[in-house]
Amino acid sequence: MTIPTLHTLPNGVRVVCDPMPGLETLALTVVAGRGAAYEDPARSGWSHLLEHMVFKGAGGRSARDIVEVVEAQGGQINAATGYERTSFQIRALKGGLPLGVEVVADLVRRPTLDAGDLAREKQVVAQEIAEAADAPDDYVFDLLQKGAWGDHPVGRPILGTVDSVEAATPEALSDWRASLYAADRLIVSATGAVEEAELLDLAQKAFGDLPATPGAPVPEPAPFVGGSFAETRKLEQAHLVLMLPAAGSRDDDYFALRVFAEALGGGMSSRLFQEAREKRGLAYNIDAYADTYADIGALGIYAGCAAKDAAQTAQVCAEQLLALVERIDEAELARCKAQLKAHMFMAREQPLARAEQAAGQALTFGRLFSPAELAAGVESVSAADIARLGRRMLDPAKAATAVLGAKSALGAGEIFRRALFGGQ
C-alpha cells in the first residue's frame, strides 16, 4: 500500500505525492491558498479575474496553445477560485506529469496579462456576473453570503462587481498575482499514476526558485452577523436559504457539524427530505449542508418550493432543526456516520478530488490525514455532541436568511427566525 507524502521545498512551496497503483491517469492540482477572502472592496473579484486571465496566454503560449498542448496528450485543464484558495487542475494520462507541471507553472508564474485580452475578459466576466444574477438558485446564495458575513470579504460575491472588475489594470493584476500566488501558501499536489521522485524533481525545477517572500496576509475570521435578505422576482418557485453560525474546519466540532448536516438534510433518509418532501410534499429540492472555511463555518438549509408553501417550509425547517438538537437515536446516528464516511471515501477514489483534498489538508493543518483518522473523527461524534453543537448554533440567536421569489414568499426568513428564537 502506498502512503501519501508531504514535502516542503526550501522556499516554502509544499508538495504532496499520493500514488494510486493500477491507474492509467493522474491528477495534478497547484493550489494557491488565497482567494476572494483576501480582497479589499476595490479589488473584489480580482482573484477570479486573474484566474481567467492567466489562460489568455502564459509562458510563451497563446490561449489556444495552452489548451491544445494539454489536450494533444489526452489531458484536460481547468481552474477554480474560492474564498480561501485558487486551484489550477490538470487530468492527464500516465506520463503526462512533466507537461502538466510545466503548463501550470507557466499559468501561475508567467502569465502574459495583455491589456487587450484584459479588456475582452472584463466583458466576459461581466456576462458571468449577469448570468449569476439571472440564475435564482445562484443569486439567492449571494444574498445569503451577505446576510451571514456582512461587510467582510467572505460576504461579497467571488465574481466581484462590474465596477470593481473594470478597475483592474495589467500592472495591478500582476502585483496581485505575486501576492496571491506567493510561495508560502502554494501547494503542488499530484495523485494517481505518479512517482514521488519525479514529482519532487519537477516541482523543484518549476517552483523552487519562487521568492520566499510572504504574500497577502491572512484576513481576520469573518464574524457571523446574521440578517435577512429578500427580493421579489417573478419565478415559478421560491428559493429559500437559511443559515446558522457553526464550526470551521479547524474547530473541534467540525465532524459533529458534518454529521448534524447529514442527519438534518443530507440524503433521502434525512429529516428534512422525509418531512418536507415525502410527508408534506412541500419541496422537490431540500437539503442541509455544512459550509466551512478554516476558522469559520455555518449550517445551511436550501429549499425550492411554491411561493404559497414558503412559510410552511421555513417552519418545518426550524422544527426539524430544533427536534434534532433535542434528540438523535443511535440508529439514526449510525446511519448518518455511514453515509458521511461513504461520501468522504468515494471522493477519495477520484484522483482530482483526492489531490484537492490533500492540498486542503496541507494548507489548513500543515499535515495529511489518513482515511482511518477521518473515519475515527466521524465515529467519535456522539448524540451529546449533536445536542451541544445545536445549542451552540442557537445560542447567539442569529440567523442569516435569503428568500427570492413572489412577494407572498418573502416572509419565510422571518418565520424561520421566530420559530427558532421566539420574539428575539
Active-site residue list: 51
**Are residues 249 and 144 both part of a single domain?**
no
Write 138-142 long-range contacts (CB < 8 A, 24+): 139/404, 140/239, 140/240, 140/241, 140/402, 140/403, 140/404, 141/241, 141/402
**Are residues 257 and 336 both part of a single domain?**
yes
**Are residues 201 and 243 both part of a single domain?**
no
**Are residues 75 and 156 both part of a single domain?**
yes
Residue 215: inside a domain, yes or no? no
Region of residue 142 (left: phi > 0; alpha: psi -120 to 50; beta: else): alpha
Residue 99: inside a domain, yes or no? yes
What residues have CB less than 8 Å from 424, skipping those under 6 apart? 397
The pLDDT, as a whole number, for residue 10 is 97
User: Which residues lie across from 21 on neighbouring strands?
Assistant: none
Number of domains the chain contains: 2
Which helix (H) or strand (E) segment holds residue 400: the answer is strand 400-405
Q: Which of 301, 284, 255 is nearest to 417 (CA)?
A: 301
The pLDDT, as a whole number, for residue 423 is 64
Q: What is the DSSP letter of 409?
A: G
Here the CATH number for the domain that contains residue 313 is: 3.30.830.10
The pLDDT, as a whole number, for residue 1 is 58
Task: Please write the tens of the pLDDT for every residue from 110-160.
Answer: 999 999 999 999 999 999 999 999 999 999 999 999 999 999 999 999 999
The pLDDT, as a whole number, for residue 3 is 81
Q: Which of 78, 125, 83 is nearest to 100 (CA)?
A: 78
Residue 149: inside a domain, yes or no? yes
Residue recorded with cell 456516520? 337
First to last CA, the chain: 56
**Are residues 267 and 330 both part of a single domain?**
yes
Q: What are the 10-residue block averages of pLDDT along the chain, 424 residues in total?
A: 89 97 97 97 98 98 98 98 98 98 98 98 98 95 95 97 98 97 97 98 98 92 95 96 98 98 97 98 97 97 98 98 98 98 94 97 96 97 98 97 97 97 76
Look at the chain and count its residues.
Answer: 424
Alpha carbon of 402 to those of 91, 196, 248, 256: distances in Å?
37, 47, 22, 25
The pLDDT, as a whole number, for residue 2 is 72
**Are residues 78 and 157 both part of a single domain?**
yes
**Are residues 244 and 150 both part of a single domain?**
no
Rg (CA), the chain: 22
**Are residues 70 and 137 both part of a single domain?**
yes
Report the amino acid identity of residue 334: A
How far, rounded to the nearest angstrom, does the alpha carbon of residue 146 sit from its chain's CA centroid?
Answer: 16
Concatenate the DSSP letters of all residues of 107-164 into one string: HHH-B---HHHHHHHHHHHHHHHHHHHH-HHHHHHHHHHHHHHTTSGGGS-TT--HHH
Q: Which of 207, 236, 268 is the last residue of a domain?
A: 207
Residue 16: inside a domain, yes or no? yes
Residue 214: inside a domain, yes or no? no
- 294 exposure class (CB count in 10 Å sphere: 0-12, 13-18, 19+): buried
Residue 171: inside a domain, yes or no? yes
What residues have CB less than 8 Å from 221, skipping those under 6 apart? 248, 293, 295, 296
245 three-class SS: strand
**Are residues 325 and 358 both part of a single domain?**
yes
Please state at what angle helix 330-348 crosses helix 254-265, rounded to 10 degrees: 110
The span from the CA of 381 to the CA of 20, in Å, is 30
**With a threshold of 0.85, does the pTM exceed it?**
yes
316 three-class SS: helix
**Are residues 242 and 166 both part of a single domain?**
no
Alpha carbon of 412 to those of 162, 238, 325, 372, 401: distances in Å?
31, 10, 21, 42, 9
54 three-class SS: helix
The pLDDT, as a whole number, for residue 106 is 98
Task: Please write the tens of the pLDDT for every residue from 274-318.
Answer: 999 999 999 999 999 999 999 999 999 999 999 999 999 999 999
Residue 95 belongs to domain spanning = 5-207
* Helix, strand, coil percent content, the chain, rounded in steps of 5: 50, 20, 30
Q: Which of 172, 207, 242 is the last residue of a domain?
A: 207
**Contact indicator for 351, 26 with CB cutoff of 8 Å:** yes
Residue 220: inside a domain, yes or no? no
The span from the CA of 253 to the CA of 246, in Å, is 8
Q: What angle do CA 383, 385, 388 make, to 5 degrees?
A: 110
**Contact indicator for 260, 301 with CB cutoff of 8 Å:** no
The span from the CA of 31 to the CA of 81, in Å, is 10
**Are residues 194 and 243 both part of a single domain?**
no
For residue 313, count other CB atoms closer than 10 A to its CB: 28
**Are residues 198 and 323 both part of a single domain?**
no
Residue 222: inside a domain, yes or no? no
